[in-house]
Chains A and B, each alone.
Chain A
């Protein structure tokens, strides 16, 4: 019986399982550290999900709606999932991970479902032009995008963004959008040609959540109490329930190797420290780009630094002249609602993208203290009725790199110590100063479109996130037409030259990271790799 092991339980792992399940006799084993939401909170979630929003108990709501926590100054706060920090908690996977300067240290998740427990749920394919720099093209990916979009909940609508980012699946319509979103979209329709002449295209969000079941409660950003936002754990739960996978939690992979035609994984039991050995015909590594990089560097015994490409993140507050009704009194869905693509070429390659969020409590919490005082209520009301926050991304070729320097341990059951450093545009600092040149151009274009969209950037308040904060990074072992023997690249099946039974399936194999949303392509590419690998096995 052919067998596969999947390391990790995030989106890449879930997509690989989806592909492997197509083969009825494939024995599939999945393992990860498996941190989950505490039982008491799970009980609250279970209670809330059975009730209508109007019938929720206030204390239950308070418990599951803790706001994001500031862990680094000059950086976006860290999200919570239904009041818990379990996606970020260190169960040993972060031991030996050191970050310098403003680089985010919480880069590997121990959670069942990985960081998809706290993601923004945005799903958009990469543009066809992006794949021109990859060893396969968009047409090779299309069926895998479709498979993933058929598997996960998908909400979105047809609009101008399709010009570069096809809709592919059949989405459900989005729930009613916030007044600000509607106003911007209407302004865009009205002044479309003028806005497009600045290189800006605007369209609605595309989201991995069950929109038809959404009863807007305003809590999306702290974790949907009705579990409508897709997490990879939902997929794995389904496969576990059907008995299709053999799942083990509490395990941290420390080595991968290949002995003849057998792939081998050593994993440490987190409770006892004991090493367990797993073998299979193939191993699929999906620990998240930095987790995978660390595991592979240790397994190769390589002290050579590697560089990850990151689509760097910035936060751009925007103001409008025309106010909306007080957003604090409304209950909208608060995920991303509309996107702005700033396209700097004719083919949709050199693109920056900004995702706009309607009001949520984090807006208020981020206001300076004096504006939260009762005496400033008049000013605060006016500010909040005009404020929109955009979360922007630059493509990796216009962003700093993340250097990963590994110090391999002499012990074979230890992961290497790694240090993460930001490199290139190294002077990139907060508050919009000394940031990559592309960002200045992006801001200029937004200013040109501002009078038409009534969306004015507040550049002095712009926040430039530290390295690895976007969570859109990868490319430590990029796909190449011919993998090099130095071990720095992988073939289209995510295999390094040294092993033909070990496949890297997450962002670590991306040749570049565009500013488009990331996770859908991680899933589609993992699905493609698993499908093509199965063809090899026959």
Chain B
């Protein structure tokens, strides 16, 4: 299959392009022109071709018509204002999904998040929900990724890992939980969904359905680095307020204030678990035992 992946230079995109190439698929990587130099292009493992892509200027259907599968994972996480998130990330994603459907791409997969659930208060979750709605109305598939962890240590898991390196880790949402997915399981599931023609009209969660208490999650991340977690519970409103103030001052931050909401108000359950089982897709329980030094 010829598989297009947007956001191919991101944490998830990198895992996916490697996995699809290993399965013998032809990977077309869509990435921001300024992120792909000739050296990095040649270093993109398994990438047959890269095409310049910017989320605010989605390619027309003609530029997608040679694809069998499009996986849309690009999302500009530097945008924090609601207007920019809706005007750039959502609008750009919706136009891309529509162009892909119009171009006759057989399988269009939108990478969503477990933060996207009805009633979410998080801007990120609401924005992903709006894109899911578009994807589903066009016959595409929305995959809600849990907290992706594994040897790459990118994304939110990577940010949490950095927190556990602090002498004292501020613990936000100590009574909360997360649904997790190992990098390898996420990639395998995505390959399986891309290869399959099974209709998936409702969003499916790519995560183990067993909620992992946040404190345990942080403990294990710390332990995987040979550390003992020293955590202090902190009110999330306080952290969120500080981050918002910093965002207003355009200071670079490892976390967005909006992400705090995702930590303290997670989804209640993983959707579509049974449906994915029909495709033979399962996710391992959370454990970092193998990663301990």
Interface membership of A161, Cβ < 8 A: no
Check A322–B91 contact: CB distance below 8 A: no
Q: Mark B137-163, 1 if CB is under 8 A from A, else 0.
A: 110000000000000000000000000
Check B98–A179 contact: CB distance below 8 A: no
Check B118–A176 contact: CB distance below 8 A: no
Q: Mark A291-326, 1 if CB is under 8 A from B, else 0.
A: 000000000000000000000000000000011110
Give bound CA distance, A325 to B95, whole Å: 16
Interface size on A, residues (CB 8 A): 22
Chain B contacts of A178 at CB under 8 A?
91
Choose one: B82, B94, B98, B129; the contact of A183 (CB below 8 Å): B82
Interface size on B, residues (CB 8 A): 27
Check B83–A322 contact: CB distance below 8 A: yes
Check A322–B82 contact: CB distance below 8 A: yes
Q: Mark B9-35, 1 if CB is under 8 A from A, else 0.
A: 000000000000000000000000000
Choose one: A173, A176, A179, A324; the contact of B95 (CB below 8 Å): A176
Q: Give the secondary structure class of B's interface.
A: helix
Which chain A residues (155-188) contact chain B, with CB distance < 8 Å?
157, 173, 175-180, 182-183, 185-186
Chain A contacts of B137 at CB under 8 A?
157, 173
Choose one: A173, A177, A189, A322; the contact of B138 (CB below 8 Å): A173
Give bound CA distance, A179 to B98, whole Å: 16
| Min distance, Cβ B195 to any Cβ of chain A, angstroms | 26
Check A176–B91 contact: CB distance below 8 A: yes
Which chain A residues (438-459) contact chain B, with CB distance < 8 Å?
none
Known contacts A189-B119, A189-B126, A190-B126, A385 near B83 by CB under 8 Å: yes
Q: Mark A371-404, 1 if CB is under 8 A from B, else 0.
A: 0000000000000010000000000000000000
Give bound CA distance, A172 to B129, whole Å: 19
Check B118–A179 contact: CB distance below 8 A: no
Give bound CA distance, A212 to B137, whole Å: 11
Interface membership of B201, Cβ < 8 A: no
Give bound CA distance, A271 to B118, whole Å: 62
| Min distance, Cβ A503 to any Cβ of chain B, angstroms | 40
Known contacts A173-B137, A176-B98, A324 near B118 by CB under 8 Å: no
Q: Mark B96-128, 1 if CB is under 8 A from A, else 0.
A: 001000100000000000000011110100110
| Min distance, Cβ B91 to any Cβ of chain A, angstroms | 6
Give bound CA distance, A323 to B119, whole Å: 23
Give A329's nearest chain B residue, CB to CB: B87
Check A179–B86 contact: CB distance below 8 A: yes
Q: How many A-B residue pairs have CB under 8 A?
A: 59
Check A179–B134 contact: CB distance below 8 A: no
Q: Mark B69-84, 1 if CB is under 8 A from A, else 0.
A: 0000000000001111
Check A322–B130 contact: CB distance below 8 A: no
Known contacts A173-B134, A176-B98, A324 near B86 by CB under 8 Å: yes
Give bound CA distance, A385 to B126, whole Å: 21
Give bound CA distance, A182 to B84, whole Å: 12
Interface membership of B55, Cβ < 8 A: no
Known contacts A173-B137, A176-B98, A183-B82, A324 near B87 by CB under 8 Å: yes
Known contacts A173-B137, A176-B91, A189 near B118 by CB under 8 Å: yes
Choose one: A182, A189, A385; the contact of B90 (CB below 8 Å): A182
Interface membership of B231, Cβ < 8 A: no
| Min distance, Cβ A221 to any Cβ of chain B, angstroms | 19
Q: Mark B196-238, 1 if CB is under 8 A from A, else 0.
A: 0000000000000000000000000000000000000000000
Give bound CA distance, A271 to B190, whole Å: 69
Chain B contacts of A324 at CB under 8 A?
83, 86-87
Check A325–B98 contact: CB distance below 8 A: no
| Min distance, Cβ A462 to any Cβ of chain B, angstroms | 25
Choose one: B81, B86, B102, B120; the contact of A182 (CB below 8 Å): B86
Check A175–B130 contact: CB distance below 8 A: no
Chain B contacts of A180 at CB under 8 A?
86
Give bound CA distance, A192 to B138, whole Å: 26
Which chain A residues (32-78) contact chain B, with CB distance < 8 Å?
54
Interface membership of B88, Cβ < 8 A: yes
Check B86–A183 contact: CB distance below 8 A: yes
Give bound CA distance, A172 to B82, whole Å: 27
Check A176–B121 contact: CB distance below 8 A: no
Chain B contacts of A189 at CB under 8 A?
118-119, 126, 129
Q: Mark A117-150, 1 if CB is under 8 A from B, else 0.
A: 0000000000000000000000000000000000
Check A325–B134 contact: CB distance below 8 A: no
Check B83–A325 contact: CB distance below 8 A: yes
| Min distance, Cβ B119 to any Cβ of chain A, angstroms | 7
Give bound CA distance, A182 to B86, whole Å: 7
Give bound CA distance, A330 to B87, whole Å: 9
Chain A contacts of B127 at CB under 8 A?
182, 186
Give bound CA distance, A186 to B85, whole Å: 12
| Min distance, Cβ A183 to any Cβ of chain B, angstroms | 5
Give bound CA distance, A323 to B130, whole Å: 19
Check A179–B91 contact: CB distance below 8 A: yes
Give bound CA distance, A179 to B129, whole Å: 14
Check A325–B84 contact: CB distance below 8 A: yes
Give bound CA distance, A3 to B131, whole Å: 52
Chain A contacts of B126 at CB under 8 A?
186, 189-190
**Pairs A–B under 8 Å by Cβ, sample size 26:** A173-B137, A173-B138, A176-B94, A176-B98, A176-B134, A177-B94, A179-B86, A179-B87, A180-B86, A182-B91, A183-B86, A186-B86, A186-B126, A186-B127, A186-B129, A189-B118, A189-B119, A189-B126, A189-B129, A190-B119, A190-B126, A322-B81, A322-B83, A324-B83, A324-B86, A385-B83
Residues of B near any A CB (own CB < 8 A): 60, 81-84, 86-88, 90-91, 94-95, 98, 102, 118-121, 123, 126-127, 129-130, 133-134, 137-138
The 10 A-B residue pairs whose C-beta atoms are closest, nearest first, are A173-B137, A176-B94, A325-B87, A179-B87, A179-B86, A324-B83, A186-B126, A182-B86, A323-B83, A322-B82
Residues of A near any B CB (own CB < 8 A): 54, 157, 173, 175-180, 182-183, 185-186, 189-190, 212, 322-325, 330, 385
New contact pairs (20) apart from A190-B121, A324-B87, CB-CB < 8 Å:
A157-B133, A157-B137, A173-B137, A176-B94, A176-B98, A179-B83, A179-B86, A180-B86, A182-B86, A182-B90, A182-B91, A182-B130, A183-B83, A186-B126, A186-B127, A189-B126, A322-B81, A324-B83, A330-B87, A330-B91
